[in-house]
Copies of this chain bind each other. A is one copy, B any other.
Amino acid sequence: MSEGREPATERVIESKRIFEGSICALRVDTVMLDSGRTATREIVEHDPVVAMVPVEADGTVVLIRQFRLATGEVMLEIPAGIVDPGEDKAAAAQRELREETGLRAEKLTQLGEFFASPGFLTELMTIFLAEGLEPAPLDADEDEDIVVQRVTLGEAVRLVEAGEIKDAKSVAGILLAARRLLA
C-alpha cells in the first residue's frame, strides 16, 4: 500500500481453457508474480457490450424492464446488448435500441466506457447518450421479453439513489447523463 510507484504486473505462464459458451468463456491462468511466487487467476471472457441512455426531446428517459435469471428478479435497466463480432459499437447501439425500444437515435454521444468487474471479467461496457429518437422498430430477440418504461431523467436519478435501479451500467449511465443534461 505504498504510494508513488508502479504496481507490479503479472506474467501468464500457463492458461487452461475450461468452457467456451455462446455468451461467455472461462479460463484459469497461472501467473508469475514479481516475488517469484505463482498465483491462479480465474478469468471470465465476455464480448464488449453497448448500453444507451435514450433521452426524448422533452427529457423523458426510455428504460426497459426484463427478468434476469442471474439475479432472480425483474430489473429496470437502460437498453443494452452485446456487440456482434466485427460490428461497430455505434451500429450495435442503434440495433439494440431498435430491438429493445423500437427507437432509432439521430445522435449518439459516448458518455463513458468501463469494465463491469475488472478483477476477473473481461467485459467492457460503452455507454452512449441517445438523442433525436424516432420510431424504427426491429424484431426483438425471441428469447427476451422486454417492457419499456418511461421516466423523467430526474426520476431516473431518484430511482438510482433509492436503490430501485440496481444495475451497474444503468447507475453509471444515468448519473453520467444527469451530469451532462441536468447541470
Contact = CB atoms under 8 A, between A and B. Distances in A.
Interface of A: 1-10, 12, 18-19, 21-24, 26, 28-29, 31, 33-35, 37, 39-44, 46, 64-71, 74-75, 77, 80, 100-102, 112-125, 137, 140, 142-143, 145-150, 160-161, 163, 165-172, 175-176, 179
Given A43-B69, A120-B46, A179-B175, A168 B28 contact: no
A168 B168 contact: yes
A165 to B, nearest CB: 8
- Report copies per complex: 2
Contacts of A22: 40, 42
A179 B161 contact: yes
25 contacts: A1-B137, A2-B147, A6-B74, A6-B147, A7-B65, A7-B146, A8-B145, A9-B67, A9-B74, A10-B67, A18-B19, A19-B19, A19-B26, A23-B42, A41-B69, A41-B70, A68-B118, A68-B119, A75-B115, A112-B161, A113-B163, A114-B171, A117-B123, A161-B176, A175-B176
Contact of A166 (B113, B119, B163): B113
A148 B183 CA distance: 32
